[in-house]
Structure formats: structure tokens, C-alpha cells
Structure 1
């Protein structure tokens, strides 16, 4: 997408933090961020590096970057406030009418992609690749991004909920459960996720699915590949690196995941968080192992991902910040919603099961938009 970036805003002309009344563009358990000018054109990645120079204390840079360095980026000046309760009409959206829905690739084509990837893995050319799908919805009415993110925040209070203007009236919204990394001085924290099961309304069945995931050899292998790659990337940058021996269960309203909480101490505490994001992103949680071969296959089967499976987060003038993986998300533009979901493919992956996993992951955004999966059975 072609972007026209405005020069960095003059902080002297910006309203003080208490003057903003618009909804947070970033919600996390420990802070909210409000854009200084929600209508400003996004800054490019090159402009972002200089945008905080001379800005008032408390000014942050909120942004989103794409899956690859060639994909777009969008940054905005923002200010931080303590978390406040989320106000929304209800925890669920009113039903939304759908004029048209289509997934790309279509369900059968996605399963064929999974089979192709599995064959590539069987030949030893790959260990893991994460394949994605998009779901294009043309709705009767344009959803309100503020209402959508409020519902996401109510439904997943521990998630990283974001709403980043991309320019041309488009908005990147989502509720990511996956911390890419958080930097405070020399201290670094990550919580990558790999391995998924859909939740179930029946408590006994829900517990069975969680147990099945925790003890699944296939999912633990997928998770171990990711952790090994992240450890290899971080080791040269850190003087201490603590990685648990086994993953733990992480629950969201709709899904169970395997997650590992990683703690590290950087050799250089002045290393900027954006440099760290560039070093670790994309992780095997959204790309694969080895990364170059996985990126090539993703490009062949999917084409450019843009902001999907990228990273979204913030940094301050000290170079500290927190970033999440851009998943459980959508691009909203007028009555059009463009959703993304992916699944990790390893040896032994079943095409139908991986397709069903992506369908379950679409559920986070579908619920926030008021769209029933029952109305999309052919597309999911």
C-alpha cells in the first residue's frame, strides 16, 4: 500500500495528555496509549527513529511493522496513561450482516498448501513453516474500530489490544495474546506461543483439550523448534538468558496455547527496542525454521502478508518498549474487514486439522465484529 507520511508532529502544538478523549490505540495490563493526533498520516520507519527527539516527557511512539522489512510500517506519536476500565455497550457485538465473504486461499486450497508444506518438510528442506489465510468480509455497515477494540479488550483483558491507523482510512485492529518482547533497561522478556487447541464450552471437554495440547508430541516439537531458534538469536545479545525446560498452557477466551516465558539480561542496556524487534522478528511462531526457506515458501504460497504476522507496539525516548506479534487481527476500512490467521506446519501435520485451527483463530475478530462463524461455514 502506498503511504504518504507527514513530517513528525511538532510536540509544542500537541494537546497535553489529559486533553485527549479518544479511545486508547494500545491497551495492555500496565498501560494505555492514546494517539496525539488520530487523524495524522502515519510516519514511516525512517521518520520514526527521529520522531521522539525533543518531544515532551511521556511521549511514546506507537507503531506497526510488516512481516518482512519490505512490507509497510506505520508509526504515530502517543502519550501513556494508567490503565482504565474499558467501557463498551456490551461484551458481545450486535449481529452484523455480511454481503460477501471469501477466504484466500479457499479452504481446500489451504489444505493443499499444508500438504505441500508437509511434503517439503518430509524431504528435509524445512523443519517448520507457518501458513496463513485471510478472510475478506464485506459488511452491511462499517464497524466502529473503537467499539471493536473495546469488545476485544473486554473479552481478553490480558491481551495486547491495538488500533493503529494505516492511512487511507484503514485501521489495523486486534487483540494479540503473544508478547514478542518487552525491554526495560537491560531486562528483556518474551512469551512466544506455538501449539493451539480451540476452547470448548463444556468444562470437561475444555480440560481434555488442554491436556491433549500439553502432552501432544507434535505440538511440543513445533514449540521446541521455535524456542531453539529464539535462543540462538538472543544468546549473542545477552549476558544472562533463562529459558524454561518445558512450555506451559496459556489460555485465551477462545484458544489454548503452549507458551514459554523467557527472561534475559542484555549485554548492552542501551540497545534500542526497535533494533531488538528487528533481530527477533519474525520468530518461528509466524514464520518457520529455517527462516529463509520458510519465508520463501510463504511468499510462493501466500504472496506478501503486509502487516499481518508483523509486530505492533511502542517505544519511548529511552529506547524501552513492548511489542506484540500481530495476530488475532484485522484490517478495517469502511465496510470491509480483512482478517488473518495462521497455523504452524511440522512433520505429521494434518491438513484438515490445520485448516480448522485457522478457522478457530478467526473467531477472536469475528466475535468482536458481530459475525457468526455459522454464516461463514463455506469460507472457513
Structure 2
């Protein structure tokens, strides 16, 4: 049945929501219960292009069934699909010509690739769950760079060790960005950081030696970044696109970070003060509850909190349970000094054992 009104209504609904603004005609036909190919629907699309409400995109896609990777000029030049690693010439499978359409407006974004960094005293098993969910549950063929800096214990008490670990992470990020660029991927990955990993990431953002690094959307969990961290300047400078801080209402670990770990604060419990940052608060989450298998599935499922943050058009995402602290100030130095002195005593005694543990864990 020919129903141009239904076709127009579908386009208007997509324009209003900002989701599905770029589509292939077969998918649109399925959404409006029309067969494809459909000459009347094709004529309708051509008319929309003529009116300027749609633009026609002539693209190339990976020919491997089930891959669905759209290939940009860099990927075509590289001769390989970055998602499934199909080498077109070697397999005698040339890229597939595709026609898609785009509605005027901000499109929903694809998750192209990510970096995840775990916290201290863990080997970050959750990172494998996260990677699997991104690749399978969300149907994104997004390469995941998992950074593991080893088993950090009492050495987190020393600021100079933070900078050494951050430098190592920054150098690896730079190499990954260069490789991504060579494969036709954006140089700016999205990033998920947990606990002490958030401290290392904040140091990279503040280090002029890594001013060339750019990041997409940032998720912090169990953050020990100070609540008054200046995210606005980083967003304005194009260093990051947006930041979502998942606040745990029962995170009883991060409030102690400023006592033992220099340069840190309870961002994962208090939230970020900066208006440019987004805080999503889950009352019953502790330090790592967001990273359990069940929670990751909920966050990354279609319509889940992290899924919406990572894929919605810029500026459209709003946390389902937003949170903004009124104020925050660090604990006075006089109160932190005795605890910090105790920490240095512990570091002096157990530092060699921690060094040995990292070597064995490497």
C-alpha cells in the first residue's frame, strides 16, 4: 500500500529525535512496512533530495556478510576493512557500492574505537566483558585498546610515579591514534577510565607533551579526579568532546583518595562541579558496581545510559538521574599531612616489594 504520509511521518520522527538521520533505503522501507525495491518510495526519496530535506550519499561498504562497515577514503586506500580485517584485493572481494540518505540535522554518532583503562589492585577483567559487549551486544565493530599498567599498590602514594605511568599511557595512546589514522579511523577515540586510571588520564590531559592527543566521549567510573577539575577548557580546546561521570552513591573508597594519593579527589562520589561535565548518579553503586557484567549489559544495551551517551548526537544526551554538587573543597593540608606521612612510611617499607610485584605481574 502506498502511504507517502507515513513515509513523511517517519522522516519527521527521525529528525525530531536525532536518531536514524542517516539510513539506507531498505531499512527505511522496513520501518514503514513497505517492500524494497519500491518505485514509489524511491520517487519519494528522490523528491526529498530535490527539495533539500535529504542528501544522497554514494558510499562503499565492506563486502563481507554481517560486517556492515562503511568504508571511508582512508580505509579504501588501506585496502582493508578495520572491523573484520578483510583485505579486499587479497580475497578478491571489492568494496560494495552503497546508496544511503541523510536527513538535515545532527546525526547519531558511531562508536569507532575506544581505549579503556582499569583501576588499581585489579587486572581489569571487566575490560574483556566491556570489549565483548561493544563488539557483540551493540553490534559495533569497534576496536578496543585495553591498557593495563600492572598491579599498582603502595606506589600510587608517590606523585612522580603517577607521572611516569601517565607518560607510558600517553605514549601508547599516541601510537594507537597514529595507527587508527593509518587505517582510516578517527584519531580521537572514546575512552572509559576507572579509579586510578582516571588519575592517569587527567595527567595526560594536563601534560603539554600530549597536547596533540584528542579524545571523543569520556566516561569516568569510580573517579578519583578532583571535583573542581576544569573540563570546560578541555572541551572548548577540542581535547575532548564530552564527559560523563558515573557517580556511585555508596562509593566509600574515593573519599579517602585525597588522603593517600596526591593530586586526587572524590569525583566518583561527589561528582564534577563543572557545568560542562555530565554526572549520572546511581545511589546504590559502590566503587566498581558499574563494571559488573550485569551492570555493563544494562549500561551498554540499546537505550542504556552509556549507550545513549556514546551514540546520541552532540548536545542531546541528558543523564536519567543527573547530579550536580553545590560545592567542594579539599580536606585541609593539616589533616591530610599525618595520613600522607603514614603513606610515605608504608611506601618506604613496602615499596621494594611493590616493585617486585609489578615486575612479576608484567
Q: Compare relative contact order (CA 8 Å, sep 6+) and give the higher one, 1 or 2.
A: 1
Report which of the two structures shows the higher radius of gyration computed on alpha carbons.
2
Bigger strand fraction: 1
TM-score, normalised with respect to structure 1: 0.22
